[in-house]
Structure 1
Amino acid sequence: MALETWLIKLKKTISNTLDTARSSNHKANVGVLSFEIAGLMSKLLQLWNCLSDKTIIRLRDESLSLEGVHKIVSNDESFLLGLACAEMAENIRVVAKSISRISKRCRDSDLQGFDGWFDEWFDEFANSGHDRHGWVLSSKDMEAKRKKMDKYVTITATLYKEMEELSTIENCLRKCKEYKPSSIKEQKIVDLQTKLFWQRQEVKYLKERCLWNKSFDMVVSILVRSIFTILARLKLVFFGFEFGYPSCLPRSLSASATVHPTQNPDTFHFVSGPLKTSSKPAVSFFESNSKLLKPPSSTLGAAALALHYANLIIFMEKMIKSPQLVGVDARDDLYSMLPSSIRSCLRGRLKGIGLSSASDPVLAGEWRTAVRSILGWLSPLAHNMIKWQSERSFEHQNLFPKTNVILLFRTLFFANKEKTEAAITELLVGLNYIWRFEREMTAKALFHCTNFNGL
């Protein structure tokens, strides 16, 4: 009997231990994943900032009015807004996918199910506005979440730097201990040990304040609610539905996208319950946006030339600013960058004038005005292309992305290939004349100087 009682107690003890282990496993803090999560929060803040009234008004009043965009991308504002909406929607989808992967570690069943049911729940909300879990926040709550995420990102970024400093101190201390001891070395070791102690205290303090010691449930709850709210804000901004969403979405954003910034950023509302939907749209919201981001065959993006042409334009811009400093080698380098289509067009334009004189100052002045005018609208798109690529380049990616975002329609990606090449050819013809004019003027000046000295 006593043995049976002891076995029952042992069984209960083992069972309680296993339950505690499972519970602690579920309640585990995010730990080293805090850096990845802080990166996601930074992207959410970036997306939220892109959808603020101030940014949207700037998009409508400044970005859409760029001369270069109208000349070689499109002068259809609805289409351009559609591209902006599509790019933001794609960024939202990518971030949401990352959140769903982390949600598997949650204890809360709804949050844990976000991974398994991500496609259904998120697509359902994007297509119909049906928020079955009530995850969309009010403007006041979202502002509170924004401040909290901003705080977490800042502290976690500081923790990352301090942990790197801690690693550096530990390595220095280890190297010092490897050498033969001396009075100077011993003092340095003592100093490093003291510094190491305080650095560990600093890291410990930051871990307690940042995401490191937060549970997955708490962190993922913030992420999920924020991504749903950001998607709701996107629909409000580009479709103008303040109190709800349409029963189905248009297949092409280019025909119906419009901007409706609110007068007061604290007055917008979001739907948090089921809407009256008669049928599922033929093309889902994210699918239609992905199709819209695929560049047409007539664009530089489709030809994979956008980045190359951006570098080419910037190279020419530098040469045009100081044509007198351009040598033969630089001209050869420029020519080697030209694709066959531009070379062929350039040969046709320069045919018959290769040996002619370039001594007309009036014509040189006209060409300077012409190339500056072209660069005035073409150069911003080229620089934006480089910035856009740099933001996404592996070598330039930071743990916490910057908030300054270049939209794709403001680059050369959707630029018409034929129109862009025509503009580049015009720049090359102008540069050719200006360069030859500068060389002839320099040669004449040297000739007169030589004759003067000879006298």
Structure 2
Amino acid sequence: MALETWLIKVKTAISNKFDVVVKSSAPHPKPKRKCSSVGVLAFEIAGLMSKLLHLWQSLSDKNMIRLRNDSISLEGVRKIISNDEAFLLGLACAEMVENLRLLAKSVSRISKRCDDPNLQCFGQLFEEFANSGRDPHGLVLSWKEMETKIKKMDRYVTVTATLYREMDELSVMESALRKVANINNEHDSTKEQKIVDLQQKIFWQKQEVKYMKDRSLWNRSFDTVTSVLARSIFTILARTKLVFGIGQQQYHPSSLPRSLSASATVYPSDQNPSTPYHFVSGPLNSAKTEENKESAMAADDDDSGFFESNSKILKPPPTTLGAAALAIHYANLIIVMEKMIKSPQLVGVDARDDLYSMLPSSVRSSLRARLKGVGFSASDPVLAGEWREALGRILGWLSPLAHNMIKWQSERSFEQQNLVPKTNVLLLQTLYFANKEKTEAAITELLVGLNYIWRFEREMTAKALFECNNLNGLLNLQSSS
């Protein structure tokens, strides 16, 4: 009996040891890693998507035709910036590419938090695609696929904006609850009722916020949102190269051809199999001239990358207001003069002195030279009318550039950088690339004309007051006699 008991114990011990060995040798399944959601970064990502939507819309057939026929044909652009269409289109292309590069930089930062190794390398892949056109992972979408992505991003942006408002409202409610809880001079029953009501509202508001988080970007993974952003950026760059004629011929923006079609060539994507990205619009250029070939060869000799070459195009020449850092100042100066010219009778001496203090030394010198020999009298109504017409003509082409400069700057200010641009104003439509000498000549002409009509209005006002006083004196004499 004792022997039998001992054998049972040995058998049990051996069996337990064997089970331990089997369990320890069996492979443990790795716990599946849960993809982290973007959380509060949803609002920044929604801002990036908004800008991508705006960029895509700016490359539409309609906007490309408007760029070709309207934007670069502005009278002010032709007068003080350039009348070279190829140069102006190059500036437009360079600015769009630069905006896309900045967006890609932000997406590259977000992509570092992805699990997909290909998405983590987005920055390098995009740089390679920009330089060589290689797309080994097939990130460029077809036209129909991109339109689907656009609708998806638009929906994400809208819902995420709603989430922001709901969270803000929840914060207001919670703040109100804390204030009520800290009030000591109210009746206990009234205070308790207010607290209960607010708590109930907060409960339902939290449910609404939770629902909106599920629908918005908040609960999406970094891989999901980065994939949408990355493919959109690749496609927008492909679209940009196509419509500006730098996709297939490997032109840089600076080598856009001088011979351009009257509008973008429009054809259905399914009827143009030779187009690599299956877009609706063809390139703005239509002819391959010898000049184009020489420019393309010069671009190929340049060792710098696509974005580096593009940045050089946006550097203003030394003869421009942008190079002199005067574009914003002159824009404000022109807008002030515009208001004064519209209502010269309302301009006081102090306002006139303030305007003069805004003038740089070069404009002051040219103004003094123009005003030499000008008489003190300004009583000719015909001459005043001619000056008004002349000033109106100058402001007709100069004022839009000044207002565009302010719009362009305000949309890129720190406070507005995460919001959707409200206009399609390009840098070439502002004073940034304006010739400094020509702009100052126009400003001087405005000042000379403003000086005359301002003095004319003052003399007419003084004359009217003098005649009124004489009439009152005459009436007083007649009444006293």
Take 1:11 and 1:33, find their aligned partners in 2: how far apart are those partners?
43
Q: Is the 8 A contact 1:251 1:283 kept in 2?
A: no
Change in Cα spacing, 1:321 to 1:7, as seen in structure 2 (3 Å) is farther
Structure 1 residues without counterparts, runs of 5 or longer: 273-277
Secondary structure of the 2:303 match is: coil
Larger radius of gyration: 2
Pairing of 1:7-406 with structure 2 (within 5 A): 19-20=30-31, 23-24=33-34, 27-114=35-122, 118-119=123-124, 121-180=125-184, 182=187, 183-239=189-245, 245-246=248-249, 248-250=250-252, 252-253=254-255, 261-264=264-267, 266=269, 271=276, 282-353=303-374, 355-397=375-417, 399-406=418-425
**Residues 220-248 of structure 1: per-residue CA shift (max 9 Å, x gap):** 1111111000000001100075xxx22x4
Take 2:363 and 2:243, find their aligned partners in 1: how far apart are those partners?
41
Take 2:43 and 2:454, find their aligned partners in 1: how far apart are those partners?
52
Take 1:102 and 1:189, find their aligned partners in 2: how far apart are those partners?
41
Change in Cα spacing, 1:4 to 1:400, as seen in structure 2 (3 Å) is farther
Secondary structure of the 1:105 match is: coil
Q: Which has the higher contact order (CA 8 A, sep 6+)?
A: 1
Per-residue deviation, 1:396: 3.4
Per-residue deviation, 1:281: 5.8
Q: Is the 8 A contact 1:68 1:378 kept in 2?
A: yes
Give the equivalent residue in structure 2 for 1:275.
Answer: none
Change in Cα spacing, 1:449 to 1:176, as seen in structure 2 (3 Å) is same
Per-residue deviation, 1:32: 1.1
Take 2:372 and 2:354, find their aligned partners in 1: how far apart are those partners?
21
Identity of aligned residues (%): 66
Take 1:385 and 1:349, find their aligned partners in 2: how far apart are those partners?
28
Take 2:217 and 2:26, find their aligned partners in 1: how far apart are those partners?
35
Per-residue deviation, 1:392: 0.5
Per-residue deviation, 1:258: 5.2
Secondary structure of the 1:300 match is: coil
Take 1:451 and 1:445, find their aligned partners in 2: how far apart are those partners?
10
Take 1:79 and 1:317, find their aligned partners in 2: how far apart are those partners?
30
Take 2:25 and 2:171, find their aligned partners in 1: how far apart are those partners?
45
Per-residue deviation, 1:404: 2.2
Relative to structure 2, which stretch is displaced further, 425-434 or 402-411? 402-411
Per-residue deviation, 1:314: 0.2
Counterpart AA for 1:234: T
Q: Is the 8 A contact 2:94 2:253 kept in 1?
A: no
Change in Cα spacing, 1:432 to 1:265, as seen in structure 2 (3 Å) is farther
Per-residue deviation, 1:10: 8.0
Change in Cα spacing, 1:295 to 1:60, as seen in structure 2 (3 Å) is same
Secondary structure of the 1:283 match is: coil
Take 1:420 and 1:402, find their aligned partners in 2: how far apart are those partners?
27
**Residues 361-393 of structure 1: per-residue CA shift (max 9 Å, x gap):** 110001000001000000000000000000001
Secondary structure of the 2:218 match is: helix
**Residues 275-329 of structure 1: per-residue CA shift (max 9 Å, x gap):** xxx9886332211110000000000000000000000000000000000000001
CA RMSD of aligned residues (A): 2.4
Q: Is the 8 A contact 1:81 1:257 kept in 2?
A: no
Secondary structure of the 1:372 match is: helix
Pairing of 1:438-449 with structure 2 (within 5 A): 438-449=457-468
Change in Cα spacing, 1:357 to 1:254, as seen in structure 2 (3 Å) is farther
Take 2:169 and 2:419, find their aligned partners in 1: how far apart are those partners?
18
Change in Cα spacing, 1:81 to 1:441, as seen in structure 2 (3 Å) is same
Take 2:179 and 2:75, find their aligned partners in 1: how far apart are those partners?
59
Counterpart AA for 2:365: S
Which runs of 4 or more aligned residues in structure 1 lie more than 6 Å from their structure 2 counterparts after TM superposition? 10-13
Relative to structure 2, which stretch is displaced further, 140-149 or 213-222? 213-222
Take 2:348 and 2:89, find their aligned partners in 1: how far apart are those partners?
44
Change in Cα spacing, 1:10 to 1:31, as seen in structure 2 (3 Å) is farther
Change in Cα spacing, 1:20 to 1:33, as seen in structure 2 (3 Å) is farther
